A and B are shown apart, each in its own frame.
Chain A
């Protein structure tokens, strides 16, 4: 048997120096007896490492990281486990990724225990003021493993502007606002016996607790009783549990009282929830009323109704299908990718968007959720027909002479269910109310074309349609929607 003594509990560098010659000599794990700090000398005699051939050794970086953590475990068998894995790694290079290997399972669970203990130290250390004015604090903590050294830097970073000490039975950490140093283990009586704030903290703890949902096991799973003796709030846990059911029963039995005078004075803002807007007489009133619209179910999941925007008395009104993701978030029509393309083509044919009124056939965004994205859905005939109410209001209030249907949904809303783009585009169509409708594609159609040549051709056709509308407005209405030439007279 080889007897190997490790006086430091959790130092990776010393551990490496200690095991290196053993690994080089390929000593079998069952021939080594590991002695921790303070362990008594065993009765058997020590063997001398065999002289002669030393073989090269190497371990993956990931193993050293794991070893550094597992060395902090309080279980004395950690030395044996780490050595055994280190030795196996000399022949089984991929051992660490064989997650079902019993040694690797054990390594993983020890690593997890140390990490958890360190995490619980971050959570359950409770500082008490030593000198509040000068921000000097001290805490007593009893970790389950040797985790003070690996956790103290967290406190140094978080409380760098304070002076603090964390005392544990095996070691102590001190921060003087500049340097972190470690010293001997200490006793509970070395820190102040109380802190004036602890009573305030207990008040908070008691008030934030909801007695109507007692789940004691959920509490102890995350805050095991072994930590309670150093937690100032723990002393009121038992009384809180005892009174919980009584308090809950009281709440239920007492029931409602009559409202206070203050409440009666307040007049809740009870807007007339007609939800309809039948009586709107202006565009701004319609814009406000549409937010309460429940004529079809689309309001349930959309952010907001997106009403039309642009010149209030525009002669030319553009009608798209429905708001998309961007429009739904911004509350404005044609601001997303299709809106940007629309703007670009308008600019190409020298049309000034500010002279138009731009809106949609359907005011709420229809979509299906896919993870973190919303996929556009074409509105159905019922939704389009429900929303005709608002489109009709916009037409009645803006009074355009020309209406442009962008895409099939708008065309069907304006001209009836038989309308198709291919048959109708390129020529004005007169409606019963005297307005003239032009039909063209929706700009989002251009974005969806995968074939580059086809996309370019379709875009050119869209631009021709818009130019036709521009010229129609000029010749038939004597109204210009063109961009003003720079320097020209207003």
Chain B
């Protein structure tokens, strides 16, 4: 085989990795290189995004594949075995050196390593674990490591992966098992969920035990995540959200990432060639947030919407409220937290501030204006000492007036 330069390899293997949306480096254990004799640190707080690409995505980790050779033929994937993209592979030592060199210059928070499936799931997982182990044990690296879990890899390899990595992830890929069967003939949704179940069980066993003095070895302290491709098949948003709800409930996932299907080099003829539905992806993230932090159930977010799809023009909380105007206005001086959280335009922090402030004095509209990002959005749905929306709330054209201006409608 012709030798290619390290830079060329990096270009190929990061190009092949970029369709994985996850770049989180947050919420791990507190750890520094002082103890391990190397460099690096992680913490329980928010992660650090070291750069941003013109696609608006943060660059926090060195996100690469160990190899883009793959024996699977998943239709949506740039690395599927039937594609003619240039193939290469990194050695374990090359990945380790690159990670450390980038880290020392403060380019990255750590490594996100994934891989095409070569030979067999166990072999592939073992190679990835070797990288993580070398970083941790030979170099005392205390930075962040995210490893992709290869479904069907042996349980003891998974256990090792979780010992060295901060986060593990297994991609569910498609919103339905049937869709996965069609697009990824070698993958089994049940095997993917079984891998997630193992990670959850191991993670729980690795949690510090308050009752006992002997503390277990931590397992993937930053938890696990997954990713779903949006727009490659015909699944509705309601299907996507109910799948997410089931995954959050079952496996303690930190995040479900939604990746708007985007054109790839040498794409399969079975894929749509439409422009990526970036706004749809954005709305799904907003709906996901409503489920995790605002007390919404998956079903009610899309209930009453056409074909189970989210409204692309307005955010899902506003859409929900416009369809249930009988529940408004909400009195900012009296309403419970759960009710305030359902007011369009009020975020978690604004709600906390409202509750803190109203202990001291009753809120007027001007007070609310100083506590939230956009009063215009909130105003029709609330009541304050000097304000009630009256007929405005029932106005036919309320939705039209809440639409963002044409300049903001475009994402660019």
Establish whether residues A162 and B104, one from each chain, have CB atoms under 8 Å apart when the complex forms: yes
Cα–Cα distance between A244 and B19 once the two chains are bound (Å): 16
| Binary contact readout A215-258 vs B (1 if CB under 8 angstroms, 0 otherwise) | 11111001100000001010001001100100010011011110
Hey, what's the 0/1 contact readout for A188-200 against B, CB within 8 Å counting as 1? 0000000101011
Produce 1/0 per residue, B49-74, CB < 8 A to A: 11111111111001100000001110
Selected interface stretch from B123-131, B208-216, B260-268, B311-319: B260-268
A358 to B298, CA, bound (A): 35
The answer to whether B262 touches A301 (Cβ under 8 A) is: no
Q: Judge if A208 is at the interface, Cβ distance under 8 Å.
A: yes
* B368 proximity list for chain A (CB < 8 A): 100
Q: Are B196 and A303 interface neighbours, CB within 8 A?
A: yes
Chain A residues with Cβ below 8 Å from B106 are: 125-127, 139, 159
Q: Among the listed B51, B55, B82, which residue makes an inter-chain contact with A260, where contact means beta carbons less than 8 Å apart?
A: B82
From B10, B38, B83, B197, give the contact of A207 (CB < 8 A).
B10
CB-defined contacts of A373 to chain B, threshold 8 Å? 249
B158-166, B320-328, B356-364, B395-403: which lies at the interface: B356-364
Quick one: given A100-B353, A161-B37, A237-B54, are A248 and B263 in contact (CB under 8 Å)? Answer: yes
Question: Closest CB-CB distance, B407 to chain A, in whole Å?
Answer: 11
A222 contacts across to B, CB distance below 8 A: 49, 52, 58
A329 and B200 CA atoms in complex are apart in Å by 8
Nearest A residue (CB) for B36? A161
CA distance A270 to B248 in the complex (A): 31
Name the residue on A nearest B14 (C-beta). A207
Contact A251 B11 (CB under 8 A): no
Interface presence of A204 (CB below 8 A): yes
Contact A328 B263 (CB under 8 A): no
Q: How far is the CB of B379 from chain A (nearest CB, A)?
A: 16
Question: CB-CB < 8 A to B366: which residues of A?
Answer: 100
Assuming the A-B contacts A127-B104, A215-B55, are A207 and B262 also in contact, with contact meaning beta carbons closer than 8 angstroms in the complex? no
What chain A residues lie within 8 Å of B370 (beta carbons)?
Answer: 99-100, 102, 105
Contact status A266-B81, CB under 8 Å: yes
Q: What mask results when residues 282 to 308 of chain A are scored 1 for a CB within 8 Å of chain B, else 0?
A: 000000000110100001111111000
Contact pick for A135, options B50, B104, B273, B278, CB 8 Å: B104
State the CA gap A325–B54 with chains docked (Å).
43
Q: Is A213 in contact with B10, judged by CB distance below 8 angstroms?
A: no
Of all chain A residues, which has the CB nearest B246? A301
> Does B101 have its Cβ within 8 Å of any Cβ on chain A?
yes
B53 pairs with A374, CB closer than 8 A: no
Tell me, in angstroms, the Cα distance from A364 to B268 when the chains sit together.
34
In the bound complex, what is the Cα–Cα distance between A269 and B73 (angstroms)? 11
Q: How many residues of B contact A (CB 8 A)?
A: 95
- Is residue A119 contacting chain B, with contact meaning CB distance below 8 A? yes
From the candidates B84, B265, B371, name the one contacting A100 in the complex (CB within 8 A). Answer: B371
Please indicate the chain B residues that have their CB under 8 angstroms from the CB of A205 in the complex. 51, 53, 59
Given the complex, which residues of B lie within 8 Å of A371, measured CB to CB? 248-249
**A251 to chain B: closest residue by CB:** B263
Q: Which residues of B contact A102 (CB under 8 A)?
A: 370
The segment out of B186-194, B302-310, B336-344, B385-393 that lies at the interface is B186-194
Min distance, Cβ B86 to any Cβ of chain A, angstroms: 11
Given A125-B106, A208-B59, also A291-B188 (CB < 8 A):
yes
- A303 with B190: CB separation less than 8 A: yes
Instruction: Check B10 against A209 for contact (C-beta < 8 Å).
Output: no
Q: A105–B82 Cα gap in the complex (Å)? A: 58
Closest CB-CB distance, A100 to chain B, in whole Å? 4
Q: Tell whether A65 is near chain B: CB-to-CB under 8 Å.
A: no
Q: How many residues of A contact B (CB 8 A)?
A: 94
Residue from B73, B83, B260, B360 within 8 A of A97 (CB atoms)? B360
CB of A179 within 8 A of chain B? no
Q: Is B201 an interface residue (CB 8 A)?
A: yes
**Is the CB of B39 closer than 8 A to any CB of chain A?**
yes
A255 B269 Cβ-Cβ under 8 A: yes
The reply to whether A269 and B14 form a contact with Cβ atoms under 8 Å apart is no
- Interface pair B107/A201, CB less than 8 Å apart: yes
Q: Are A208 and B248 in contact (CB under 8 A)?
A: no
Q: Given A303-B196, A367-B249: A158 and B40 within 8 A (CB)?
A: yes
Contact with B along A345-361 (1 / 0, CB 8 A): 00000000000000000
In the complex the two chains form, what is the Cα distance from A105 to B266 in whole Å?
Answer: 53
B48: A residues at CB distance < 8 A: 119, 122-123
**For the complex, is B138 an interface residue (Cβ under 8 Å from A)?**
no
Q: Is A433 in contact with chain B by the CB < 8 A criterion?
A: no
Chain A minimum-CB-distance residue to B107? A201
Is A262 located at the chain interface by the 8 A CB criterion?
yes
Looking at B32, B72, B105, B268, the one whose CB has the most chain A CB atoms below 10 A away is: B105
Given A162-B39, A291-B190, verify A218-B353 contact (CB < 8 Å).
no
Determine whether the beta carbon of B39 is less than 8 Å from that of A158.
Answer: yes
B134 at the interface (CB under 8 A from A): no
Contacts A161-B39, A209-B54; A203 near B10 (Cβ below 8 A): yes
> What CA separation (Å) do A372 and B276 show in the bound complex?
31
A210, B32: Cβ atoms under 8 Å?
no
> How far apart sit A47 and B278, CA to CA, in the bound complex (Å)?
63
Q: Give the distance to chain B from A363, nearest Cβ to Cβ, in Å.
A: 12
Asked whether any CB of chain A lies closer than 8 Å to the CB of B243, the reply is yes
Is B245 part of the binding interface, using a Cβ–Cβ cutoff of 8 Å?
Answer: yes
- Please, which residues of chain B bring their CB within 8 A of the CB of A159? 33, 39, 104, 106
Known contacts A123-B49, A207-B15, A208-B14; A215 and B411 CB within 8 A of each other:
yes
Interface residue? A183 (CB, 8 A): no
Per-residue CB proximity of A256-281 to B under 8 Å, as 1/0? 11011011001011100100000000
B276: chain A residues at CB < 8 Å are 212-213
CB-CB under 8 A for A208 and B63, given A126-B105, A135-B104, A373-B249? yes
Q: Cα distance A217–B19 when bound, in Å?
A: 20
Q: Tell me, rounded to whole Å, the shortest Cβ–Cβ distance linking A96 to chain B.
A: 9
Interface digits, B265-302 against A, CB 8 Å rule (1 contact, 0 not)?
Answer: 11111000100101000000000000000000010000
CA distance A257 to B267 in the complex (A): 8
**Measured between alpha carbons, how far is A266 from B40 in the docked complex, in Å?**
42
CA distance A217 to B49 in the complex (A): 16
Q: Looking at the assembled complex, report how far the CB atom of B332 sits from the nearest CB atom of chain A, in whole angstroms.
A: 11
Measured in the bound complex, the distance between the Cα atoms of B40 and A154 in whole Å is 10
Measured in the bound complex, the distance between the Cα atoms of B268 and A259 in whole Å is 10
Q: Are B73 and A213 in contact (CB under 8 A)?
A: no
With a cutoff of 8 Å between Cβ atoms, the chain B residues found around residue A203 in the complex are 7, 10-11
Q: Is A98 an interface residue (CB 8 A)?
A: yes
By the criterion CB–CB under 8 Å, are B193 and A304 in contact? Answer: yes
- Docked Cα-Cα span, A257 to B268, in Å, equals 8
B334 interface residue, CB < 8 Å from A? no
Chain B: minimal CB distance from A98 (Å): 5
B positions within 8 Å CB-CB of A:
6-7, 10-12, 14-15, 17-19, 32-34, 37-41, 48-59, 62-63, 71-73, 81-84, 98, 101-102, 104-107, 176-177, 181, 185-186, 188, 190, 193-194, 196-197, 200-201, 242-243, 245-246, 248-250, 252, 260, 262-269, 273, 276, 278, 298, 353-354, 356-357, 359-361, 363, 366-368, 370-371, 411-412
Interface residues of chain A, those whose CB is within 8 Å of chain B, are: 94, 97-100, 102, 105, 119, 122-129, 135, 137, 139, 154, 157-162, 195, 197, 199-201, 203-219, 222-223, 231, 233, 237, 240-241, 244, 248, 251-252, 254-257, 259-260, 262-263, 266, 268-270, 273, 291-292, 294, 299-305, 325, 328-331, 367, 369-374
Known pairs A218-B57, A259-B83 / 5 extra A-B pairs, C-beta < 8 Å: A200-B6, A200-B101, A216-B412, A259-B81, A301-B243
26 A–B contacts from the bound complex (CB under 8 Å): A100-B353, A100-B357, A123-B50, A124-B50, A127-B105, A158-B41, A160-B39, A195-B105, A203-B11, A205-B51, A207-B10, A207-B15, A208-B53, A209-B18, A211-B55, A214-B55, A217-B412, A218-B411, A240-B54, A248-B263, A252-B273, A260-B82, A262-B81, A329-B197, A372-B248, A372-B252
